[in-house]
A and B are shown apart, each in its own frame.
Chain A
Amino acid sequence: MTVEPDFPGAVPPERRSTVVSAGLRLGCLEWGDPAAPPLVLCHGMWDHARSFSVLAPLLARRYRVVALDARGHGDSDWAAAYSWPSDVRDIVAVLGTLGRPAHLVGHSKGGGQATDAARVAPDRVRRVVNVDGFGPPPFGPEEPPAPAQLAKFLDARRSLAGRNGWRPYGALDDLVERRRVQNPRLSRDWLRFLVFHGAREAGDGWRWKADPQMTHWTGPWRPEWIALSHAHVRVPMLAVVGSEPDTWGPLPEAVLGPRLAVVPNLTRVTILGAGHFVHVERPVETADAILDFLD
């Protein structure tokens, strides 16, 4: 078996637990004093709870940090189908196990969903931090209209019949290479760490843990719909973005500004020198910004 890779600053979780949401088992990792005030971490698409291995210990100096694997990701169960609201419900379910309101921090998709969880469960959320989870740039004119998008989604659903997993890759480094194409700013050492925990080694090679069904996600969607939800967030929110060009960011102010302007109680921070994975590229600065906001 391949030896678990090291990464500078990465700390293994101190505890593991399982939360059942809508019948699915969700894997949770914990860092910090169990008696400290709770803080929940929500990862992005195709990531997993171990993607917070550097940020979590920095936040755990003050909080009981709980990072969940979203359904279909990491060590959580696969679902029969996926939707944005069901992911949000899973976050609310984890919040419900903590015994008191918690701070909520999410990255990318997890940032958007943490924001929605704060909207629908304000009694369980003290403050919310959204790390670059404000959606992609607006679609261009080449983006097909909703009926054509749904047709593509339906085609994909038809092609899923009988497909229950990924094909195996021969070596861990093949997966690293696959992920490097998607996230070129991330170092090979980090990707090796991330991918090791996001894949399983079996007799015939390495397979992603994440459910391939999520490739087609939930059908037609438009980034401007984010504002319809974010306008109703009542708890204080910190928006964290990086300064550097990356997969789809940083969003120009003309795009990001209006998406954030609807949030009633907003604080903004830009972390210099970071791309989309702000907490991976600049973990100390990101943790400081979050801790400043939560105090």
Chain B
Amino acid sequence: MRIAHARLTLELHEVRQAAGAPLLLLHALAGSSADWGGGPAWPGAVWALDFSGHGRSEPVAGGAYTAELLAGDADAALAKIGPAAVAGKGLGAYVALLVAGARPDVVRAALLLPGAGLAGGGPAPYLDASPEPLEMTDPAHTFERDVRPPEYAASFARAARRILLVEDGPEPPPWWRAVRPPGETVAATDAFSRLAARARG
């Protein structure tokens, strides 16, 4: 379905209908909702969002793709589907962390999975040197890593510590270490069943 985020129009895919607490899936940098296929085993409805400029969602005129803007995308999806568990890969994991910290009343539990764009806002000044492309070199399609020291991400991890599950991957970004102590580490094989258990409280 089409949903609005301020002036942006986004695609929120209903992967599976079911009674029970919903799950919102957030894809990685340069990915789309299609990456989740039929979705993981889940005891409720499953939704997958296309972030701005990805999949069937509208590009952001003029660029300005930031993790905080994408958090607005995820928040617009949550406004539609109500309280939910959230799982994100890479950039989607970083966005899930932001939304879990900012919206404790709406995010029941959050699962952070490794993947592209996990650095999120990034720990150091960074611009243009080697942009991670969404659609290659056009700056209108460049995800921006603003100056966000690891403590920034850590403050969200502390705020969400009771609902955070993380799956370790190779070469985690600096903020990941700050997330691990509050978050519970899970294995890929049972990550979603653990997420469902955590979402039930």
Contacts and interface: CB of A to CB of B under 8 A. Distances in A.
Interface of A: 21-24, 71, 77, 79-86, 88-89, 92, 116, 119-121, 145-148, 150-151, 153-154, 157-158, 160-162, 164, 213, 218-220, 225, 228-229, 232
B68 A85 contact: no
A157 B149 contact: no
Contact of A218 (B63, B68, B129, B149): B68
B37 to A, nearest CB: 29
A34 B23 CA distance: 59
A89 B7 contact: no
7 closest A-B pairs by CB: A219-B68, A79-B62, A147-B101, A22-B140, A160-B6, A150-B102, A86-B64
Nearest to B148: A225
A120 B129 contact: yes
A80 B62 contact: yes
Contact of B8 (A23, A80, A84, A89): A80
The residue among A71, A79, A121, A164 with the most chain B CB atoms within 10 A of its own CB is A79
A150 B97 CA distance: 12
A86 B102 CA distance: 24
Given A22-B140, A146-B152, A154 B127 contact: no
B134 to A, nearest CB: 12
A145 B159 contact: yes
B149 A148 contact: no
The residue among B4, B102, B139 with the most chain A CB atoms within 10 A of its own CB is B102
Contact of A85 (B6, B52, B146): B146
A151 B199 CA distance: 21
Interface string B128-147: 11000000001110001111
Given A23-B61, A81-B8, A228-B149, A145 B103 contact: no
A80 B62 CA distance: 7
Contacts of B195: none
B76 interface: yes
Nearest to A90: B62
B66 A80 contact: no
A119 B147 CA distance: 13
Given A23-B62, A79-B64, A220-B152, A92 B146 contact: no
B71 interface: yes
Interface of B: 4-8, 52, 58, 60-66, 68-69, 71-72, 75-76, 79, 98-99, 101-103, 124-125, 127-129, 138-140, 144-149, 152, 155-156, 159-160
A80 B53 CA distance: 11
B125 A88 contact: no
B127 A120 contact: yes
B101 A83 contact: no
A281 B97 CA distance: 46
Given A84-B146, A150-B101, A150-B102, A79 B159 contact: no
24 contacts: A22-B138, A22-B139, A24-B61, A77-B62, A80-B52, A81-B6, A81-B52, A83-B63, A83-B65, A83-B69, A89-B63, A119-B127, A120-B127, A145-B159, A146-B101, A147-B159, A154-B72, A154-B99, A157-B6, A157-B75, A158-B76, A213-B6, A219-B68, A225-B147
Given A83-B144, A147-B102, A154-B102, A220 B68 contact: yes
Contacts of B63: 22-23, 79, 83, 86, 89
Given A116-B125, A154-B75, A158-B76, 8 more contacts: A22-B140, A81-B60, A119-B127, A120-B127, A151-B102, A153-B68, A161-B6, A228-B124
Contacts of B129: 120
A157 B139 contact: no
Nearest to A224: B149
Contact of A146 (B79, B99, B155): B155
B74 to A, nearest CB: 9
A258 B121 CA distance: 24
